[in-house]
């Protein structure tokens, strides 16, 4: 499955074209919401939900049941939590109990340190000292339905996904793992599915700047014998 990431600066009409024709799922992350101490833009979520007909995940600054409910009512299919879950792991279970695990995505941002892969919070600006794989397993136990795994070490490099990190977590949990961070060419998607054992792959820059289309990536995956949605 190929997913498309949008940040808070995007064109809704463009998101419709992407979502309607090629993307399997859409992810909207308001990456500055936590840093600025505000909620994700509900009206933007509503506008995007009306423009597309594919599953739609929203994240950024979600720290209460009330906020999550507001976004789901605005049209999101799933909500993604990160910093709030690290601060209060019980929040994952509360969300799962209220809305069902199928609606709860825990975003794990990780960096490679001398100690291995460790979790970072606040849009990748704060090191937590938490081991990424152990945190992923904890999230699963607490009720997460999916893991959105982003390597901040790879993110923006276009040099490929963090295969070792993705494989480690994918083999540790029984819930879907969405790999993110580092996609630069179709071969990287093949690697993350075959070597990294990811269930889905998410990318932004290579699609936003038209380096490759999602159809081109899917065609390449099919040519390598990898079954994907079309």
> Would you kindly state where each structural domain of the chain is located, as residue ranges?
2-223
Low pLDDT (below 50) residues in the chain? 8-20
Q: Check residue 70 and give its pLDDT.
A: 95
Q: Check residue 226 and give its pLDDT.
A: 93
Q: Check residue 61 and give its pLDDT.
A: 87
B/e letters for 215-224, b = 16+ CB within 10 Å, e = fewer, are eebbebbeee
Paired tokens of 115: 């100690």
| C-alpha–C-alpha distance, residues 111 and 154, integer Å | 8
Q: Check residue 209 and give its pLDDT.
A: 82
Name the residue with tokens 């979520």.
45
The fold of the 2-223 domain, in CATH, is: TIM Barrel (3.20.20)
In this prediction the pTM is: 0.89
| C-alpha–C-alpha distance, residues 79 and 27, integer Å | 9
Q: Check residue 29 and give its pLDDT.
A: 87
């Amino acid at each position: 499955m190929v997913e498309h990431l949008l940040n808070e600066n995007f064109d809704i009409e463009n998101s419709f074209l992407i979502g309607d024709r090629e993307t399997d799922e859409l992810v909207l992350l308001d990456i500055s919401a936590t840093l600025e101490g505000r909620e994700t833009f509900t009206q933007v979520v509503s506008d995007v939900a009306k423009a597309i007909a594919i599953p739609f995940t929203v994240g950024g600054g979600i720290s209460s049941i009330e906020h999550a409910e507001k976004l789901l009512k605005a049209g999101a299919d799933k909500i993604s939590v990160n910093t709030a879950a690290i601060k209060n792991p019980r929040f994952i279970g509360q969300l799962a109990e209220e809305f069902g695990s199928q609606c709860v995505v825990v975003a794990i941002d990780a960096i490679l340190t001398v100690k291995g892969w460790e979790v970072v919070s606040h849009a990748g600006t704060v090191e937590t000292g938490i081991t990424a794989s152990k945190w992923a397993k904890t999230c699963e136990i607490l009720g997460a339905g999916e893991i959105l795994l982003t390597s901040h070490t790879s993110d923006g490099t276009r040099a490929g996904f963090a295969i070792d990190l993705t494989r480690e977590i994918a083999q540790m949990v029984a819930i879907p793992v969405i790999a993110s961070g580092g996609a630069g060419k179709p071969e990287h998607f093949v690697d993350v599915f075959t070597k990294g054992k990811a269930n889905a792959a998410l990318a932004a820059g290579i699609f936003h700047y038209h380096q490759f289309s999602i159809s081109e990536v899917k065609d390449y995956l099919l040519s390598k014998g990898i079954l994907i949605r079309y």
